Amino acid sequence: MKKPRFSNAIGNLDDDLVEAAAECKRKEKPNFWLKWGSVAACFAVVAVAVTFILPSLSDVGKVPGGEKTPNANEGRYKEFLVTEDTLAIMWPWDYLSESERYYELMLDGVKFTKNGGRTISEEFVGEKIGTYSIVGYDHVTEERHTVDADVYLIDNVNKDEFVAVKLSDKFYSYKKEEYNPPNTLGELFENVDLSKLTSLERFSEDDGGADSKYYKLTNDDYIWEVLSDCDEATFIEENGLNWSKYDRNYISFTVTANALGVYKHVLTITEDGYLDTNVFNWGYLFYIGEDAANKIIEYAREHSEEAEFEPYEQSIFGKVTSFTDEYVLIDDSSLCNDPSEGIVYKVPLNDIRISRYFETSHIKEGEYVKVVYEGEIDAQTNTITFAQTIADVNITFDSGKEDETLELGSEETVTHTTSSKAANFQIPE
């Protein structure tokens, strides 16, 4: 049986990182929903591993003002790193959003699970398949919940791989749970026609390294033509194969496919003929040959222009100064080289994914937080309308001191770890 690939980088973690994750202490919080305490440390280690896997698509170590951030805020911020403190919260059912509650579907005897929590546009939704029971679990009370929902085809996608489910007037992508990689690249494109679902607009070289360069492609039609001629390219089973793109010369395309709920995943082409991608959450590797690979790489280099670094997610950092039933105020002046240049952001509490942290006192006044958002910040009121997540964080300033850890909230807090989302890979059981 083929085994899913997570990452061959996981075995190369520095011992210091592992020890730091193991020794990290969580602040005292209400604990009736905080299960799996030991999982937090394990997940932190996995999260650190992901920073090695996807450095060009993650803002880990690239927080505003950090040394690794290209053109970040023109020096407005001090140099600092961030450690998230909310990796393993198990929220009660009443504190879950609709997108977090129902995540399992049985369709004709095949198990599908929600492919992340991103909504997909109705323009990608095809014919209705039927109405089915969608299952969710309350991990605090260990209760099972079901809801009937309409299930639809997704255009240009085989229903054996992905389907769309309508929950509360929004559509979500559900993916077949079983790991069953295609035998060839042609078979992959027959199941999911990526050429019609995404554009290969941005790519990078030397992923995340000191000499990283980022580009925007003018047109990707030729690349899809070359890949369509590689329909016989075989899937490479990596069991026992110590394969890594970092040992090779390559370019990595950013892939966002809204129809699949996929956001900023990666498709890599190496000069020695490999195509490596995590677009389908599992790591898929194909051998397309050196000729095809170099056609793609040369075309991309000749038909693109240099672009600025684009982080995996948009986020702001600051200290909670006050909150009401309607909004929270977050001030970043203590992070600025000149505090007078600080900004007070206003975040509405009309989304349960944000408000639950304040309703339960998990986040309090005076604590540093990170807010991930989409869209634009209102220039007049500094309101973040589309906040997605909020997390209490530890802020690390470069104070020139070593091994000195102060209380959270001090403007000279010193810690030693960073964390990241690990959403782009499935962890095998």
The number of angstroms, rounded, from the C-alpha of 285 to the middle of its chain's C-alpha atoms is 20
Q: Beta-strand (E) ranges in 187-233?
A: 202-205, 213-217
- Between 171 and 16, name the one with better pLDDT: 171
> Does the structure show a pLDDT above 80 at 143?
yes
Residue type, 182: P
What average pLDDT is seen over the chain?
A: 78
Tell me the per-residue pLDDT of 75-95, one tens digit each, with 9 for 90 and over: 788 888 877 755 568 899 999
pLDDT at 282: 87
Q: Greatest CA separation found in the chain?
A: 62
184 DSSP 8-state letter: B
Contact by Cβ (8 Å): 261, 120: yes
d(CA 7, CA 201): 25
**Which one of 245-249, 341-345, 397-401 scores highest in mean pLDDT?**
341-345
- Between 412 and 370, name the one with better pLDDT: 370
Question: What is the band of 8 on the pLDDT scale with cuts at 50, 70, 90?
Answer: very low
Question: What is the band of 112 on the pLDDT scale with cuts at 50, 70, 90?
Answer: very high
> Does the structure show a pLDDT above 60 at 229?
yes
Identify which of 370, 369, 387 has the alpha carbon closest to the alpha carbon of residue 378.
387
Is the torsion defined by CA of 344, 345, 350, 353 positive or negative? negative
Q: How many CB atoms neighbour CB 193 within 10 A? A: 16
Cα separations in angstroms, 43 against 23, 83, 86, 356: 13, 13, 11, 22
| Region of poorest pLDDT, from 360-369, 389-398, 413-422 | 413-422
Question: What is the band of 399 on the pLDDT scale with cuts at 50, 70, 90?
Answer: low
> Does the structure show a pLDDT above 80 at 286?
yes
319 CB-near residues (< 8 Å, 6+ apart): 330, 331, 332, 334, 366, 367, 368, 369, 409
Residue type, 175: K
Read off the tokens for 283. 């790591």
- Between 364 and 84, name the one with better pLDDT: 364
| Mean local confidence (pLDDT), 203-208 | 77
pLDDT at 4: 57
Produce one character per residue of 62-84: b if its CB has 16 or more CB atoms within 10 Å, e if not.
bbbbbebbeebeeebbbbbbbbb
- Between 312 and 189, name the one with better pLDDT: 189
Give backbone dihedrals phi and psi of 143, rounded to 5 degrees, phi first. Answer: -95, 150
- Between 52 and 101, name the one with better pLDDT: 101
The DSSP secondary structure of 379-428, one letter per residue, reads TTT-BEEEEEEEEEEEEEE--S-SS----TT-TT----------TTSPPP
- Between 329 and 69, name the one with better pLDDT: 329
d(CA 340, CA 356): 31
| Mean local confidence (pLDDT), 16-21 | 42
Identify which of 288, 314, 285 has the alpha carbon closest to the alpha carbon of residue 377.
314
Read off the tokens for 292. 């095809």
Tell me the per-residue pLDDT of 39-64, one tens digit each, with 9 for 90 and over: 333 333 333 333 323 333 333 333 33
Q: Has this prediction a pTM greater than 0.85?
A: no
